[in-house]
Structure 1
Amino acid sequence: MDYFVHPTADVEDGAQVGAGTKVWHIAHVRSSATVGTDCVIGRNVYLDAHAVIGSRVKIQNNVSVYQGVTIEDDVFVGPCAVFTNDLRPRAHNTDWKITPTVIRRGASIGANATLICGIEVGEGAMIAAGSVVTKDVPPYQLVAGNPARPRAWVNWSGEIISRDMTTPPDFSRG
């Protein structure tokens, strides 16, 4: 095994976990979940069956990533962030439908943020702590609030480069 699993964690048979990844205390990685290389899966993280986690992803404590959620490479997920996967959840519904959510490369999700399923968070985007994200977030946009609204544009390092929300900056210039 070329990854670390804390003795209290559970990585089910059939889960794919990449080299250099660390799965910490009481985390649970379901069979058919996929986790890339060099990730950190924090305390009490739950990765559902068919959840897809890229490489170099850091998922902080108390996060559940459900089936239908795809997290690409280099993403940060803050503690207690919430992902959903059903737009109309009912305990008695036997015909529920998974609604996919995609978090693109290099995005950051703040602590206690809630992401409603069916959205895409763009490359390098930032979700402020406590935000409720109900619609797509463009690449390199910072959103905050409930519901989350555009606040600024950020660079790859997360530094604010513009608060002019009328026109996105030209990221092609590097």
Structure 2
Amino acid sequence: MNRIHSLSDVQTTNIGIDTFVWQFSIILKNAVIGNNCNINCHVFIENDVIIGDNVTIKPGVQIWDGLRIEDNVFIGPNVTFTNDRYPRSKKYPEEFQQTIIKKGASIGANATILGGITIGTNALIGAGSVVTKDVPANELWVGNPARKIKNIE
């Protein structure tokens, strides 16, 4: 059973079981969201988005077209994603950049993730980091621009 707050605007029917969507969130009609997810308040999810199972998205996050979020991912509050390398008002790219967040990755609060990159399996991104290139699996990255600090288990 899903719990979709009455003050949210959920247009998709592609939501798995036991997923919670909190108030003031907007999810567009073609988004796909897995089982047992927690979509906190003030989250916006566009159409060309796939979210796996057991994903937590904290408040103030926008999930733009082209994002792929695998199972067991944590996205901290106010994380910012991009999907257009050269954004201009009312001028859209032929295709938005695809960003992949692999299974078990965690992204700390207020991190910025540029479009077109992959964050590897079980990788950790520190709060406030700006990720400008692919992050390999099982690594901790922090800073601006983010860089590897150490391997993690």
Partner in structure 2 of residue 161 of structure 1: none
**CA RMSD, Structure 1 to Structure 2 (Å):** 1.0
Question: Aligned partners of 1:10, 1:94: CA distance in 2, in Å?
Answer: 25
Partner in structure 1 of residue 74 of structure 2: 76
Which structure: larger Rg?
1
Q: Give TM-score scaled by structure 2 length.
A: 0.97
1:149-169 deviation line (CA, Å, top 9, x unaligned): 0001112xxxxxxxxxxxxxx
Q: Is the 8 A contact 1:89 1:96 kept in 2?
A: no
Q: Which runs of 5+ in 1 are unaligned?
A: 156-174
Q: Is the 8 A contact 1:51 1:69 kept in 2?
A: yes
> What amino acid sits opposite 1:111 in the alignment?
A
The residue correspondences of 1:134-173 to structure 2 (distance < 5 A) are: 134-155=132-153
Partner in structure 2 of residue 90 of structure 1: 88
2:13 is aligned with 1:5: no
Cα distance change, pair 31–92 in 1 and its aligned pair in 2 (3 A): closer
Q: Give TM-score scaled by structure 1 length.
A: 0.85
Question: Aligned partners of 1:21, 1:68: CA distance in 2, in Å?
Answer: 21
Question: Aligned partners of 1:138, 1:92: CA distance in 2, in Å?
Answer: 34
TM-fit CA distance, 1:93 = 1.8
Q: Which runs of 5+ in 2 are unaligned?
A: none
Question: Aligned partners of 1:93, 1:33: CA distance in 2, in Å?
Answer: 23
2:15 is aligned with 1:17: yes
Range that drifts further, 91-100 or 30-39: 91-100
Aligned residues: 153
1:99-138 deviation line (CA, Å, top 9, x unaligned): 1000000000000000000100000000000000000000
> What amino acid sits opposite 1:25 in the alignment?
Q
TM-fit CA distance, 1:95 = 4.2
